[in-house]
C-alpha cells in the first residue's frame, strides 16, 4: 500500500523532531497530558515509575533537579537500551531470537533470510538525545530563562543558542537559522519534580503537548502527542513555503525502557513500545490508517539466567489507500485485522526457543481492492518449540491455517499438536513424529493436496509445477 507523503522537514526543524523520534527508534511516541496535581503518576500506566532515593524535591536546588532530569531523560534510556543490545550482542538471551541456532533452524526450514539484531535495536541512543535534552532544559548555555514555583520548573530555551548548538551544520543559511529560531520561540519546557531523581518533563510547542518524559532511576518513558507533532510539521512546512500538506495525525505512542540489573554479563531489562491513545493518520492522497491502543512490542532479557522474550500484541488495524491504477482511474485498497499476536521465549542459554500465541485475534486478516476481497487469512492460535541443538520444531498446538487469495484459490495447512519436524543435512525437513502434515490448494484451475506422514521429507517448491508451497522429496 502506498505510504503517507510527509513534507520533508528542513535542517532547522530536525533537532525538535529528533527529540521525539530518537526515543522511538522506529516511529513516534505518544502519551497524554497531566494535571498540576498529578504529574504523570496517577493513571494505571503512569509515566513516572516509582524508584530511586525517594527524597522529595522540595529542598533540592533547581540546578540539581535540572541536571538529574536531563540525565534521567537521556542516560537512563541509553543505559536501558544498551543493556538490551548487549544481551543480544552476546547471543546469551534476546539476540538468540534473531541470530542464533533456534531461529536459524526455523529460517532454514522456511527458506527465509536471517535478521540482524542491529535492524531491531539502534546504537547511540544516549549520545544522540543527550545534547538536545541539555539544550532544551537550559543546561548548555546561560541565556535560558528558568523559573520555579514549588516543584514546577519552567524553562524557555534560548532560541539562538539552541539553534546554533543543535543545527550542527556550519553551512546553514540565514533563512534556515531564522526558521529554526521561529520554531524554537514556540517551545516551552516544564518540569514537575516529584523526588530528587524522578519527575515529569513536558515539552510543548505552540501551547500543545509535544513530548512528555517520565524519568526515574528505574524506568524512563517517552511519549509524543501526535497532534502536537502535526502542528510542528505544519508550521515548519509553512516557514519553508512548502505546498505539500501535512497529514492529520491523532493519538500517541509510548516507548519505555527499564533495567533491573546492569551488572556486566548479568544484565536484565525490559523495553516496550505501546500505542497509548488510538492512532489515526489521514492524508489528502486518500491514505487513512487507524490503530487501536495496544502494546506493539515488549522485549525482556536476563543474561544471568540465559532467558529472554519478545512479544507482539498489535491492536485492531484498518488501513486504506487510494492509488492511481495506471489507466486514468484509482484503486481503493483496505487492509484490516482485529489483532496480530506472537510471543517468543528463549531459554537454556538460547538453545530452546518457544513460540506461542501466534494469531490474528478474533477475526480474519483481510485485504480488499475496490470492494473485492483479494486476501483472507484465517488461523487458529499457534504455538511451537524450537530446539536449536537438535534442529527440531515441535508443534505445541494444532496447526490450522487457511489463506484465500480471491479467485486465485485457497491454500490450507494442517497438522496435529505434537507433530515434530527436524532439519536434514540436505536442507529438507523431515516429519519425525506425529502428523500427518496436510497441505491443499483449491482454485478454479486446480485442486491439489499433499499429505506428509511420519518419516517423510519435504522442501519448498521451486519448480512451479504445483500450486502448493511445499513438495515431497527424498530424505
Domains in the chain: boundaries: 14-397, 400-475
CA torsion through residues 101, 105, 108, 110, sign: negative
Contact 360, 338 (CB under 8 A): yes
Distance CA 66, CA 199 (A): 10
Q: Give the tens place of pLDDT for each residue, 282-306.
A: 998 889 999 999 999 998 888 778 7
Instruction: Tell me the three state secondary structure of residue 19.
Output: helix
Q: Does the pLDDT of residue 143 top 90, yes or no?
A: no
Q: Does the pLDDT of residue 31 top 60, yes or no?
A: no
The count of other CB atoms within 10 Å of the CB of residue 54 is 11
Residue 127 pLDDT: 62
Which range is least confidently modeled, 66-70, 154-158, 199-203, 317-321? 66-70
Q: What is the CA radius of gyration of the chain?
A: 26
* 3-state SS record for 354-369: EEEEEECCCCCEEEEE
Residue 109 pLDDT: 43
Q: Does the pLDDT of residue 91 top 90, yes or no?
A: no
Distance CA 74, CA 258 (A): 13
Phi-psi group of 470: left, alpha or beta (phi > 0 → left; psi -120 to 50 → alpha; rest → beta): beta
Number of H helices, E strands in the chain: 8, 27
Distance CA 161, CA 143 (A): 8
The set of residues, in sequence order, having a beta carbon less than 8 Å from that of 61 and lying 6+ positions away, is none
CA torsion through residues 58, 59, 62, 67, sign: negative
The set of residues, in sequence order, having a beta carbon less than 8 Å from that of 445 and lying 6+ positions away, is 409
The count of other CB atoms within 10 Å of the CB of residue 468 is 18
Instruction: Tell me the three state secondary structure of residue 227.
Output: helix
Higher-confidence position of 194 and 139: 194
Residue 474 pLDDT: 92
pLDDT (average), residues 371-381:
95
Distance CA 316, CA 293 (A): 8
Q: Is 181 exposed, middle or buried (0-12, 13-18, 19+ CB in 10 A)?
A: middle
Residue 329 pLDDT: 83
Name beta bridge partners: 321: 333
pTM, full prediction: 0.78
> CA distances (Å), 393 to each of 110, 194, 223, 433, in order?
12, 50, 39, 11
Q: Does the pLDDT of residue 343 top 70, yes or no?
A: yes
Which range is least confidently modeled, 26-40, 77-91, 134-148, 149-163? 26-40
Residue 101 pLDDT: 40
Contact 2, 323 (CB under 8 A): yes
Question: How high is the mean pLDDT of the chain?
Answer: 80
The set of residues, in sequence order, having a beta carbon less than 8 Å from that of 246 and lying 6+ positions away, is 6, 7, 230, 233, 234, 237
Cα atoms found within 13 Å of the Cα of residue 63, Cβ hemisphere only: 4
Residue 261 pLDDT: 80
Q: What is the largest CA-CA distance in the chain?
A: 80
Amino acid at each position: 500500500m502506498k505510504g503517507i507523503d510527509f513534507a520533508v522537514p528542513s535542517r532547522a526543524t530536525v533537532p525538535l523532531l529528533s527529540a521525539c523520534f530518537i526515543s522511538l527508534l522506529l516511529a513516534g511516541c505518544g502519551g497524554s497530558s497531566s494535571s498540576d496535581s498529578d504529574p504523570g503518576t496517577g493513571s494505571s500506566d503512569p509515566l513516572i515509575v516509582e524508584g530511586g532515593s525517594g527524597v522529595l524535591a522540595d529542598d533540592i536546588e533547581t540546578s540539581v533537579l535540572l541536571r538529574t532530569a536531563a540525565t534521567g531523560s537521556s542516560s537512563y534510556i541509553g543505559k536501558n537500551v544498551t543493556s538490551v543490545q548487549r544481551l543480544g550482542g552476546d547471543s546469551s538471551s534476546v539476540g538468540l531470537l534473531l541470530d542464533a541456532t533456534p531461529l536459524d533452524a526455523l529460517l532454514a526450514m522456511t527458506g527465509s533470510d536471517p535478521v540482524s539484531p542491529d535492524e531491531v535495536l539502534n546504537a547511540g541512543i544516549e549520545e544522540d538525545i543527550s545534547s538536545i535534552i541539555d539544550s532544551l532544559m537550559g543546561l548548555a548555555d546561560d541565556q535560558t530563562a528558568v523559573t520555579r514555583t514549588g516543584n514546577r520548573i519552567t524553562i524557555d530555551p534560548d532560541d539562538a543558542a539552541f539553534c546554533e548548538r543543535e543545527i550542527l551544520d556550519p553551512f546553514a543559511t540565514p533563512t534556515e537559522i531564522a526558521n529554526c529560531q521561529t520554531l524554537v520561540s514556540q517551545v516551552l519546557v516544564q518540569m514537575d519534580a516529584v523526588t530528587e531523581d524522578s519527575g515529569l518533563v513536558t515539552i510543548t510547542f505552540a501551547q500543545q503537548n509535544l513530548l512528555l518524559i517520565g524519568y526515574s532511576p528505574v524506568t524512563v518513558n517517552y511519549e509524543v502527542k501526535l497532534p502536537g507533532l502535526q502542528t510542528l510539521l505544519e508550521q515548519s512546512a509553512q516557514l519553508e513555503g512548502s505546498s505539500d500538506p501535512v497529514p492529520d495525525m491523532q493519538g500517541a505512542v509510548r516507548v519505555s525502557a527499564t533495567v533491573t540489573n546492569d551488572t556486566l554479563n548479568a544484565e536484565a531489562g525490559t523495553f516496550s513500545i505501546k500505542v497509548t491513545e488510538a492512532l489515526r493518520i489521514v492524508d489528502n492522497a486518500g491514505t487513512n490508517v487507524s490503530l487501536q491502543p495496544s502494546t506493539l512490542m515488549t522485549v525482556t532479557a536476563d543474561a544471568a539466567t540465559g532467558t529472554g522474550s519478545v512479544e507482539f500484541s498489535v491492536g485492531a488495524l484498518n488501513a486504506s489507500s487510494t492509488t492511481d491504477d495506471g489507466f486514468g482511474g484509482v484503486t481503493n485498497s483496505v487492509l484490516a485485522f482485529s489483532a496480530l499476536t506472537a510471543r517468543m521465549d528463549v531459554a537454556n542459554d538460547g538453545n530452546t526457543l518457544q513460540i506461542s500465541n501466534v494469531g490474528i485475534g478474533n477475526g480474519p486478516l483481510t485485504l480488499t481492492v475496490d470492494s473485492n476481497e483479494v486476501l483472507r487469512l484465517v488461523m487458529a492460535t499457534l504455538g511451537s518449540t524450537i530446539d536449536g541443538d537438535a534442529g527440531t520444531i515441535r508443534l505445541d498446538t494444532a496447526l490450522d491455517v487457511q489463506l484465500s487469495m480471491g479467485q486465485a484459490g485457497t491454500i490450507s495447512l494442517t497438522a496435529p499438536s505434537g507433530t515434530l519436524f527436524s532439519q536434514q543435512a540436505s536442507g529438507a525437513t523431515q516429519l519425525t513424529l506425529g502428523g500427518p502434515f496436510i497441505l491443499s490448494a483449491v482454485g478454479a484451475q486446480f485442486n491439489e493436496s499433499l499429505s506428509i506422514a511420519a518419516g517423510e521429507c519435504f522442501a519448498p517448491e521451486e519448480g512451479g509445477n504445483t500450486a502448493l508451497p511445499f513438495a515431497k522429496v527424498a530424505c
